[in-house]
Amino acid sequence: MKKVERINTMMRYINNRAHFTISEIMREFNISRSTAIRDIREIEAMGMPLVSEVGRDGGYFVMNNSVLPTVRFTDNEIKALFIAFMATKNKQLPYLKSRQSLAEKLLGLISENQQDDLVLLNQILLFEGTNPNNPDLLDLSDLPHPMLEKLIQILLLDSYLLITIKEEKVIKSFPIYLLHLYHEKGLWLIDGFDLKNKKRKVFLVDNLTDVKPNPAKKRASRKEILEKLSKQEEAINLVLELGPKAIAQFKKYHPLKVSISYTNPYQTTAILETFINVNNSEELTEITNWLLFLGGDIKVREVPKEVLEVLQERLCLFCP
């Protein structure tokens, strides 16, 4: 941990305690006694009113009615924050309005030279999936579905939900246990366990009309739900070896249920193992399109014949 980082973290650590000792600081931050004393003196010089106590059990405490000094960011920390803002423009993220006010506040805290650096970075950096015709760092667009923030707020309190979905003019309610909320191909999706039908199901957030905590008093525990899911898992029928180019493509996009295991410390080769439901035409189409997206830097160890048939049909479209 760099010194500026350590000092900022230490100030928050101290401010949240009624009393602390040098030994506690040494253990918490894994530093020597002399370094701990220098850091505490530096924190005092920055304006935090510390009072020392003498004696065998002596230590320090923060004077009453004190406030935590302003957090200071390094140049690199400021650049990291704004590059993150730039990289996530047009991603349909929740709390975009709050993110915009945060960016404005941070701009007000930094020097003119730092602001000039950010303007230059904004001009020269272009991220995949962003709009080059939208150059304003604070001009955030593509607001997500209005139900998304409500969903997240409820999730912070309870993962057992009662959701109402409208699909093809039909409204249905589902009691679910939410496993993941994820963003894929420009859409927000709910990966949940349907508590009524006892199976995993994916719901489109754009189809949500209402969400609230599940009022049912008797609930299956998370452990019971995960045990049911593990029993429902099908045998692996797709096994691939990925090279560096295929791994790069995988990082750009991959279906939620698919993951890879790296086979060397440099993360340039990997194994992909998953189950493909060949009886689900939608899943079959999606996985074959995705395999073509991965490119030629793959070796097939195992693949369902149905997947090969669809791949051959796709490739024949380009035959003369």
Q: 216-220, 254-258, 314-318: lowest mean pLDDT where?
A: 314-318
pLDDT exceeds 80 at position 186: no
pLDDT exceeds 70 at position 6: yes
User: Per residue in 111-169, pLDDT tens?
Assistant: 888 888 888 887 788 776 666 665 555 555 566 788 898 999 999 889 999 999 998 88
Mean pLDDT over 214-230 rounds to: 87
Mean pLDDT over 93-98 rounds to: 73
Those residues with Cβ within 8 angstroms of residue 209's Cβ, 6 or more apart along the chain or in another chain: 147, 164, 165, 166, 171
Identify the band that residue 192 occupies on the pLDDT scale cut at 50, 70 and 90. very high
Q: Which amino acid would we find at residue 287?
A: I
pLDDT exceeds 60 at position 57: no
pLDDT of 283: 85
Residue 174 in contact with residue 131, Cβ under 8 Å? Answer: no
pLDDT exceeds 90 at position 110: no
Residues in the chain: 320
pLDDT of 67: 52
DSSP string, 4-61: HHHHHHHHHHHHT-S-B-HHHHHHHHT--HHHHHHHHHHHHHTT--EEE--STT--EE
Q: What are the helix and strand counts (H, E) for the chain?
A: 11, 11
Mean pLDDT over 296-311 rounds to: 91
Mean pLDDT over 244-261 rounds to: 89
pLDDT of 195: 93
pLDDT exceeds 70 at position 69: no
Q: Please state, as a whole number, how many other Cβ atoms lie within 10 Å of the Cβ of residue 227.
A: 12
pLDDT exceeds 90 at position 318: no
Report d(CA 159, CA 234) in Å as an integer: 25
Report d(CA 87, CA 131) in Å as an integer: 10
pLDDT exceeds 90 at position 216: no
Average pLDDT, the chain: 83
Per the listing, tokens 């060397």 go with 264
pLDDT of 90: 67
pLDDT of 94: 81
Whether the CA torsion 247, 251, 257, 263 is positive or negative: it is: positive
pLDDT exceeds 80 at position 48: no
pLDDT exceeds 70 at position 47: yes
Report d(CA 205, CA 148) in Å as an integer: 7
Mean pLDDT over 45-55 rounds to: 73
pLDDT of 130: 62
